[in-house]
């Protein structure tokens, strides 16, 4: 991942550099083993990002894509921060 541009928090600075291999590397750094369900959530997040829709825990809860409990189970210790980082999109403004 030497040619992949990331900020000081590890988020990609150029979404066009995102690939599944990049996602797998970031997931490994975050100690997350990717499953089909993880990929479904990433696809949803990327779709929202490309539509320029704000991402928040509340929005994800209302999405019907995933329950909050499952979201926390898939991405423990900060699900929105970790999932958006792996998805290659900027950290949501709702994340501290």
List residues with catalytic annotation.
95
Give the integer Cα–Cα distance in Å for 68 and 61: 6
In this structure, is the dihedral angle defined by the CA atoms of residues 63, 68, 69 and 71, taken in order, positive or negative? positive
Counts for the chain of helices (H) and strands (E), in that order: 5, 0
């Amino acid at each position: 991942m030497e040619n992949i541009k990331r900020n000081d928090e590890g988020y990609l600075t150029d979404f066009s550099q995102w690939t599944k291999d990049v996602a797998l590397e970031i997931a490994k750094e975050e100690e997350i083993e990717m499953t089909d369900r993880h990929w479904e959530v990433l696809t949803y997040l990327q779709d929202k990002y490309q539509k320029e829709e704000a991402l928040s825990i509340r929005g994800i809860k209302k999405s019907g894509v995933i329950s909050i409990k499952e979201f926390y189970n898939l991405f423990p210790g900060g699900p929105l921060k970790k999932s958006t980082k792996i998805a290659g999109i900027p950290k949501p403004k709702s994340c501290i």
